Structure 1
């Protein structure tokens, strides 16, 4: 997006310019500035640059992994942080709230962070302080790597996304900024705060290694910046106080860690000798072979004499292997539904998933999966084309699965696990859906027949008592354009009121609810939609194009000419909420068992599309937690028609070769047998290794402890 790219380029450019402008003030007192110095810097410190800027590569990779891990496990520690802190952070936003301060601190939050990292690297390299450059480069990388396990396994949401009284006012400053933050920030990486951890670790590294005071002014600036950043992240509704403490701890650990490994790392990667060593190795093919032999030989000799160091390495490898296995399993919780080669569509409800495959013009194969028992059922049907060709639709209800094709309905009895009965209807219905059985053997079918709603127990031509056909308890005021049903309620939209939904009960206590749906957002974001589509958001001619319904909520798809929006309505309280990002296309909602799923084209700019953003992705929303998640990694293939079922979400996946596959996602994490075996091995081996390590440490320290005690006695 031009706006997003523009704001990002502006921030990066501003950070670089600010870093260069401040160099005369922050440089060592005796140093001089020249243009050639920048060229010489990159020639002498290119490996340091790779180490520092690799952080951004790792961040992109692991942010995507974190989104999937969060969607699969929904690990959320925010409630525990809130239980400790309460509403402390609310005071900062309420007390100092001002539009100018918000704008200034938002840009400071991004530009300042970029400038600090860039300056810390550039200053030491430009002024050829190799001792400091070695440690600063490793400190920046290790700060992120030490924080990474918390981001993956200790998810803490930003304060403005958790506390109702707060907002992420920095993220929402403008539509362009909001979209940019949505793209790059999972909103769950609160603990620890790298906006504190990075500058603090840089300052701490300078404080420990600036022995002659050449960086004294720069150190003072880092203290001021870190203090101001602490206020900024609390005020903007981004971080908790605990995140700041976590950032300081991570910063201290990273400095001590980088100092321990610095000499060994730069002995290998030092630019002054790295290329020479590579050239020497490649000059003769036997040299790298001999070097590898020496390395493996040294490792083998090291392992031949078991000690606490060797056992410690074994423990670390065991932890890494077990953690990696579980991480892989937790991020791969979806699997293909076997039995269908080219599915035409998918439908799901409760514990059942259904799909069909076209054999030829007059024959289809319907496949049903019982996901709780892992059983599947296949049935071939001849679809009558005498009266025309119609799409095949599959409906799943409380007692039956129905395959609908024009005038033909086929029924599968879920309790008996068998196909039974067929309806041939007289009229060609515009739409059909299912209610509960109401103590009958056959499901009650709700039919939309030329603008009228009919409730039928069996087929027939006319809607009459003889055909067990009735109407809604309260007749609609005019023609109906759309219907949906769940259990004992029917939802419908009348043609004359395209943004009103009527919900009527068909049995028990009679209720008739009318919901006026609103898909309105702020004008700035509507303007953003216009810039991306060249079409105005048309509220005057808005129409509801799709309804899905469950016991407590309904979700509607609203067409606004330039964009579709999803609106979820709580049928008890009447509260309405827009799901997903309202400036990008959404479609195909599904609801059930406390979740809503839909397909979306996040970040698609219709009038200037990027190929990577053209495909459909699937998201789902946890109604209880009020959180939405990306269901799978971002890619360039289509995932469409999501279906919410009990404990599962299914969708169609269309790859680059136009091959279609049904994927099934397990909402609750279910580890594969290999993960369970890995955990069992870990539980058995870890105590043995720990006892071995303790025993080895006691033996290794026995002599030194005895010597120290004798020396103390002599003194």
Structure 2
């Protein structure tokens, strides 16, 4: 069943998903939260620089395939993964395959993955959760900065391309995937799995958001995406484990940097006014007498 006809369709669905998630997470009108987000970026150079850095690293990621083509061909590690993993994804597919499950997994892989990323940035910034906003930006940057060198120098092909027993089920929902989406993600850009690392990154930070509903959705999103990368025939278990390690490391660093970046604001909020301190120290008329 064809659901995704083009990247335009995916972009439109992503925009709707972002609006729904922002409304769900903030319990307010999505446009109001988006306006608050833009205002925060305008008033805070620090937030704006980090946001623009994210846009830049994602834009540069599109040119990774061009850079890869210009470099000498490194050793391909796909056979090593096939040797110890086999083609268990094919067994999973044959046991669970259905048109609706394929659409569901493709929707989370193509749409919800990026929609939740954008919605998280809007939610944390508009709600004044500056530490989480900084932490998410830094963690996302680290995910890309660590993963891209592996894609360049440690190529691993997608599971379906390495084993005839594994089908690429994504094509059932998005037949033009290879011609339209592939330029964003190379066939040998498997290790580590960025879909795993970024979804787990967002889940770990959602657990610290103080919102039960946001935490539940963040964890559910990560679980569904991790399942989807196997069900759709894309990744190896090795990719997933590397992605989880990358996510945990990026979040740990992101939270430390986020706490440091948010420290001046915390200090301003908690530091008593100097005049008030003098009032406390100054003797009253009663004590003078």
Task: Please say whether Structure 1 and Structure 2 have the same fold, judged by a TM-score greater than 0.5.
Answer: yes
Q: Which of 251, 258, 269 is matched with 1:262 structurally?
A: 258
C-alpha displacement at 1:36, in angstroms? Answer: 4.3
Match of 1:20 in 2: 19
Three-state SS of the structure 2 residue aligned to 1:75 is: coil
Q: TM-score, normalised by structure 2?
A: 0.79
**Is the 8 Å Cα contact of residues 102 and 236 (structure 1) preserved in structure 2?**
yes
Three-state SS of the structure 2 residue aligned to 1:166 is: coil
Match of 2:38 in 1: 42
Q: Supply the distance in 2 between the matched residues of 1:80 and 1:136 (Cα, whole angstroms).
A: 33
Match of 1:108 in 2: 108
Please list the CA deviations of residues 149-201 of structure 1 after superposition, one character each: whole Å capped at 9, or x if unmatched: 22122211100100111222214645433311333221111111111110111
Match of 1:219 in 2: 215
Q: Which of 239, 249, 259 is matched with 1:243 structurally?
A: 239
* 1:142 counterpart = 2:138: no
**Is the 8 Å Cα contact of residues 15 and 112 (structure 1) preserved in structure 2?**
yes
**Is the 8 Å Cα contact of residues 203 and 222 (structure 2) preserved in structure 1?**
no
Match of 2:55 in 1: 53
Question: Counterparts of 1:545-624 in structure 2 under 5 Å?
Answer: none
Question: Counterparts of 1:35-434 in structure 2 under 5 Å?
Answer: 35-45=31-41, 46-69=48-71, 72-171=72-171, 173-207=173-207, 209-210=208-209, 213=210, 215-262=211-258
**Is the 8 Å Cα contact of residues 131 and 258 (structure 2) preserved in structure 1?**
no
Q: Supply the distance in 2 between the matched residues of 1:203 and 1:34 (Cα, whole angstroms).
A: 21
**Is the 8 Å Cα contact of residues 121 and 136 (structure 1) preserved in structure 2?**
yes
Q: Supply the distance in 2 between the matched residues of 1:164 and 1:186 (Cα, whole angstroms).
A: 19
Please list the CA deviations of residues 113-153 of structure 1 after superposition, one character each: whole Å capped at 9, or x if unmatched: 11121111111122222121111111111111122222122
Q: TM-score, normalised by structure 1?
A: 0.34
1:104–1:36 distance in 2 versus 1, CA, 3 Å: closer
Q: Supply the distance in 2 between the matched residues of 1:34 and 1:250 (Cα, whole angstroms).
A: 31
Q: Which has the higher contact order (CA 8 A, sep 6+)?
A: 2
Q: Alignment RMSD, CA only?
A: 2.6
1:57–1:264 distance in 2 versus 1, CA, 3 Å: farther
Three-state SS of the structure 2 residue aligned to 1:73 is: coil
Q: Supply the distance in 2 between the matched residues of 1:170 and 1:35 (Cα, whole angstroms).
A: 32
**Is the 8 Å Cα contact of residues 168 and 234 (structure 2) preserved in structure 1?**
yes
Q: Supply the distance in 2 between the matched residues of 1:164 and 1:57 (Cα, whole angstroms).
A: 33
Match of 1:11 in 2: 10
Q: Supply the distance in 2 between the matched residues of 1:222 and 1:263 (Cα, whole angstroms).
A: 21
Three-state SS of the structure 1 residue aligned to 2:6 is: helix
**Is the 8 Å Cα contact of residues 156 and 189 (structure 1) preserved in structure 2?**
yes
Q: Supply the distance in 2 between the matched residues of 1:164 and 1:9 (Cα, whole angstroms).
A: 31
Unpaired runs of 5+ residues, structure 1, are 271-715
C-alpha displacement at 1:6, in angstroms? Answer: 6.7
Q: Supply the distance in 1 between the matched residues of 2:50 and 2:130 (Cα, whole angstroms).
A: 10
1:38–1:181 distance in 2 versus 1, CA, 3 Å: closer
Please list the CA deviations of residues 599-645 of structure 1 after superposition, one character each: whole Å capped at 9, or x if unmatched: xxxxxxxxxxxxxxxxxxxxxxxxxxxxxxxxxxxxxxxxxxxxxxx
1:173–1:63 distance in 2 versus 1, CA, 3 Å: same
